[in-house]
Every structure is written in C-alpha cells, then in structure tokens.
Amino acid sequence: MQRCRKSRPRRAPRWRPRRITLANRLDAREADTAVDDVAADATDAGPRDRAPQRRCIVTRRSLPVDDLIRFARGPDGSVVPDLRRRLPGRGVWVTADRGAVAEAARKKLFSRAFRAESRTTDDLADSVGKQAKDLALGRLGLERKAGRLAVGFAEVDAMLRGGRAALVLHASDAAADGVRKLDQAAYAGARAGAEAPYRCRAFTSAEMSLALGRGNVIHAALEKGGASGAVIARCRLVDRYFGEVEGAADLSPDEFAGRTE
C-alpha cells in the first residue's frame, strides 16, 4: 500500500523593491507631465507643488503654478477654491483670470477634469476674487503690525526715495496727482541704484483702510526683505485675476521716467 505524500504549500514569491533607475525616473516624469489627457494633466494628487507648471483646464496652456488657481473637490461634490494650495486630494488648475474661472464653471469643465460630477456656485468667480483680495490684504495687515509697512503720503515718499520699498500700493480711487508724485519718488530711488518696487492699484481706499486698521488709507509701501516676496505674489495674483494690466507692471526707471515727464 502506497503512502500519500503530502504536498508542500507553495511559498508566495518574495516581494522585492523595484530598482530606481534613470529610466524609471524619466518614465515617471513623462507620466506626470503628460498632455494627452486633460484630466490627468490638469489635476494633481495633493496640495504639494510637485511640478513647476500645471495645465489650465480652460485654455489648455501649461503655466507656472503662481499664474494659476487650484480648485479641490469636496466630499459632497462641490468645487472649492484652494488659493493656499493646502487642501488634500486631487486638484484642478485654472488660469488666474476671472473670465477663465467663470468659463470653467459655465462649461462644466470641473466635472470633466475631476472625472466626477462636480457642483459650482453661481458666484464662484466673484468668490475667488474676494478670497484673493482677502489673502493679500491679510498679509498686508500682518506687515503693518510688524512695522514694515509705511502708510500715508509722507512715510511712503520717504521709503520710496530711500530705495527701501519692495511694493508700493495706490488705492484704485486715489487722485492722479498723488500717484504721480509718488511715482517720481520711486523713480528717484530707482535712479539711485535701487530696484524699482512692484506697483499695485488693485484695492480701493476702503478695502485698504479696513485691512490696515486706519482710516482713509490712500498710499502704502512695503519694506524690502522679510516676507515681501510672498506679499507681492498675493498682490500679483489679484492683479492678474482682475486684469489690472497697468497696475501689475513692474516699473523700470525708464517706465518711471515716462510717467513723470
């Protein structure tokens, strides 16, 4: 009588980590920057800026992330603006332009990019603009508390002539004469060798006054150094969003000369 041999259980194959090679890295990079699929290229896997550029779902153009606005999709399917780029999950990018955001909502491009039904509010474009302004004004308020923001014509004039200003703000409803005189002061500082400050006219006097806790703010200037780069980035975003082409221009000495002639 023959004995039945017990079959030995097969061992599961050992998992071995994949070797990281240059070819693997190139393949991953190509997959991350693929342009054939709108949804894959316009979204990401989280709030990290893993790539220097993203593709707008409206214009189909690849732009630096600072020229775009990120949107996330909430658990209920609502589209949420993520200007700080901190919300988890996949993200969709739209050119920082009010018309582009309105078009994305009107044509239901968010649903296509997220590959799921996504709801937008009727005032999405206005809401994004308000959030962009609030973020910029909030940063200006912090700089004011830190003592790095000059407010008022005399203080701003002194900072500009000394070449210490990284940013100069004029209220959108400021008088032309006051703006012209401070442009001359900025030109004087730039002629002395200082870099011309970024010039922004995206906010009303009422908005600036409320943010800075002081009445009737018409002119302000931010000192160089510290977080001035982050503040300027916020002001640039507002300028782009509302199409403030003239206010968004960095004024070189030649441009200052043209304004003061």
Q: How would DSSP label each residue in 176-233? A: HHHHHHHHHHHHHHHHTTPPPPEEE--S-HHHHHHHHT-SS--EEEEESSTTHHHHHH
Predicted pLDDT at 142: 96
- Is 117 part of any domain? yes
Same domain, 109 and 222: no
Same domain, 95 and 191: no
Beta bridge partner(s), residue 71: 81, 92
Rounded to an integer, the average pLDDT of 146-152 is 96
- Is 203 part of any domain? yes
Same domain, 49 and 158: no
- Is 11 part of any domain? no
Q: 3-class secondary structure for 68-94?
A: EEEEEECCCCEEEECCCCCCCCCEEEE
Best CA proximity match to 110, nearest among 65, 83, 70: 70
Is 244 a residue whose pLDDT tops 80?
no
Predicted pLDDT at 13: 59
Best CA proximity match to 42, nearest among 112, 146, 135: 112
Is 33 a residue whose pLDDT tops 50?
no
Look up the CATH number of the domain holding residue 179. 3.30.1330.30
Span 3-13, pLDDT tens digits: 556 566 666 65
Rounded to an integer, the average pLDDT of 221-234 is 94
Same domain, 133 and 240: yes
Cβ atoms within 10 Å, residue 160: 27
Predicted pLDDT at 148: 96
Domain boundary among 122, 143, 165: 122
Same domain, 189 and 254: yes
Same domain, 97 and 152: no
- Rounded to whole angstroms, the Cα distance separating 219 from 68 reads 28
Tell me the residue range of the domain where 107 lies. 36-122
Predicted pLDDT at 23: 43
- Is 3 part of any domain? no
Q: How many structural domains is the chain composed of? A: 2
The amino acid present at 26, given as its one-letter code, is: L
How is residue 156 written in tokens?
Answer: 């701003």
Rounded to an integer, the average pLDDT of 200-214 is 96
Domain boundary among 63, 92, 122: 122
Four-CA torsion 84, 87, 91, 92, nearest 10 degrees? -50
Span 167-183, pLDDT tens digits: 999 999 999 999 999 99
Same domain, 140 and 242: yes
- Is 6 part of any domain? no
Predicted pLDDT at 16: 60
Rounded to an integer, the average pLDDT of 54-65 is 95
Is 253 a residue whose pLDDT tops 90?
no
User: Which bin fits 120, alpha (ψ -120 to 50), beta or left (φ > 0)?
Assistant: beta
Same domain, 218 and 118: no
Q: Which residue has the higher pLDDT, 251 or 227?
A: 227
Q: What is the pTM of this model?
A: 0.74
Predicted pLDDT at 35: 30
- Is 176 part of any domain? yes
- Rounded to whole angstroms, the Cα distance separating 199 from 31 reads 39
